[in-house]
A and B are shown apart, each in its own frame.
Chain A
Amino acid sequence: KAGVTQTPRYLIKTRGQQVTLSCSPISGHRSVSWYQQTPGQGLQFLFEYFSETQRNKGNFPGRFSGRQFSNSRSEMNVSTLELGDSALYLCASSLVGSSGSSTDTQYFGPGTRLTVL
């Protein structure tokens, strides 16, 4: 079974631009979560999508948004990029059972490395 895929793997943008990152979960996984990883702040939760609905959101400004499609693929968008948005953005998918338990393992993709100049 193919793992979580993220495109593109590397991206360079300039301040003020916007960017869209894509994530394809493992087949059958219905939950997709996004995380930001930076040397200064470490790994931080951005948001989770399940059944095309945002279920949870981390403490990030409204410039960060996302969506999920009916095939569970997800995109995240960052508008009006700032230098501090330079980071590795990780997507994780999990198989959500009928109980919706948070014990489900999150499987991570390789990430998209965004550089903002």
Chain B
Amino acid sequence: AQSVTQLGSHVSVSEGALVLLRCNYSSSVPPYLFWYVQYPNQGLQLLLKYTTGATLVKGINGFEAEFKKSETSFHLTKPSAHMSDAAEYFCAVSDRGTGRRALTFGSGTRLQVQP
């Protein structure tokens, strides 16, 4: 079974600082990879996804992530944090090539942005 590990349940950065949220997966076959964001009392919104091709993926709101097969990682970054980025972020994977669309999620990282 696949698993997703997000290092750090809470991350705090200053406004304008670099945001780095870590995600590692365990799977013998590289899965499809996703990052979602959840604001309080809301559902999940897709930030970006990696399926194939270029390993550096750009998403919405200035976020990007890089797929590194050798490190089984898909870390999320943003060069400069904004107060509006405060939310919970989830890394998720789905099976490659099976048609099974079920997402397996990490435990989430709550991002706090300090003024």
Contacts and interface: CB of A to CB of B under 8 A. Distances in A.
B44 to A, nearest CB: 4
Contact of B101 (A4, A42, A104, A111): A104
A107 interface: yes
Contact of A102 (B42, B45, B94, B107): B94
A4 B108 CA distance: 22
Contacts of B103: 33, 35, 43, 45, 92, 106
Given A102-B95, A110-B42, A48 B102 contact: yes
B102 A42 contact: no
Interface residues of A, number: 28
Nearest to B101: A102
Nearest to B92: A43
A105 B46 contact: yes
B49 interface: yes
9 contacts: A31-B101, A48-B101, A55-B101, A102-B95, A102-B100, A102-B101, A103-B49, A111-B42, A111-B43
Interface of A: 4, 31, 33, 35, 42-45, 48, 55-56, 58, 90, 92, 94, 96, 100-111
Interface of B: 32, 34, 36, 41-46, 49, 51, 90, 92, 94-108
